[in-house]
Amino acid sequence: MGSSLHYCSSVLLLICLLQLASCCDYFKGSWVIDTSYPLYDSLSCPFIDKEFSCQKNGRPDSQYLHYRWKPTGCDLPRFDGEDFLRRNRGKRIMFVGDSLSRNQWKSLTCLLHSAVPHANFTIETQEEENLSTFTVPEYEITVMLSRNVYLVDVVKEKIGRVLKLDSIEEGDKAWKGLDALIFNTWHWWNRRGPSQPFDYIEVGNNTYKDMDRLTAFEIALNTWATWVDTNIDPTKTRVFFQGISPSHYNGTGWNEPDVMNCRGQKLPLSGTTYPGGLPVALTVLKKVLSKMSKSVYLLDVTELSLLRKDGHPSIYGFGEMDCSHWCLPGVPDTWNQLLYNALL
């Protein structure tokens, strides 16, 4: 009788552990103070761009540096730079997207530098190809950044610059033969005026002066998804999507309607849910990913980043109000912590 009860208890314990593991969502949780963070010192990382280096640019507060992402029901394993380098020895990893991809790429270079500070590192930029390359020769690892803000092509033609929603020739040349790809796009889709890098939008044989940008975003994502389904061998290449990195330009999103932007924000939001809800672009992204035949891992960073209204450079970047990018050290370090655990 006793051995039978012991067996039943062991089985029940195993079931509980399996259920706990299956229900632990790394992307649902809250931010907690942890004085062992940040994982590196911005003053000792030689790779941080000026626009992300909030401490060097005079940001006076420092509590934003000491937050750790705590998933509900489990702990997110700490980023281990040496382990990352060992496991990815000889591999080629590429971030593809806009300046938010650059934000994450720069974060990863600092995380790896702090883990093995005496290793040899090189960074090279090929401006004509919009490609930056970070290498650690000792580990034969290459981590690249390919700037491609829409993922689909923008082509100069007689009528002007044309955003081709169903063409991906530029990416087709750059994205093949890699061990991991981390994609991102969204922030440029609503640009208008002088900062808009196209004059027309083309779909098939139809050319438009403009169209609904969320619709254009979805068409482009479907073009990208078709490319991945057609060209990627998941046994050789892991594919990730960074998710939608949010901005904090309007305090109504966090129930402070009198707050105009992120300037002066020193604390993250408490709890696990952002009051203003999630952006529609995330719904579109998840819809496209759900229809794909190849596996793409969504680094669903949107809500955890929405909770960090304190994490932006504000005036401590280029001097202009920046509530889109993130200070380093900061939130992108957690994105890379999530990427590290996904790669495991």
DSSP 193: G
Q: Which of 187, 248, 312, 325 is catalytic?
A: 325
> How many angstroms separate the CA atoms of 243 and 282, rounded?
7
- Residue 10 CB partners (closer than 8 Å, separation 6+): none
- Beta-bridge partners for 182: 95, 240
Helices 99-115 and 331-343: angle between axes, nearest 10 degrees: 70
- Beta-bridge partners for 241: 183, 298
Question: Can you spell out the DSSP letters for 195-217?
Answer: G---SEEEETTEEES---HHHHH
Q: Catalytic annotation on 66? A: no
Q: Catalytic annotation on 333? A: no
Q: Which of 99, 132, 167, 324 is catalytic?
A: 99
87 phi, psi to nearest 5 deg = -65, -30
Q: Catalytic annotation on 312? A: no
> How many angstroms separate the CA atoms of 94 and 84, rounded?
15
29 phi, psi to nearest 5 deg = 175, -150
Q: Which of 312, 322, 324, 333 is catalytic?
A: 322
Edge-first strand listing for the sheet containing 297-298:
122-126, 131-136, 141-147, 92-97, 180-183, 238-241, 297-298
Question: Would you state the structure tokens that stand for residue 318, as one six-digit string?
Answer: 């280029």
| Residues recognised as catalytic | 99, 322, 325
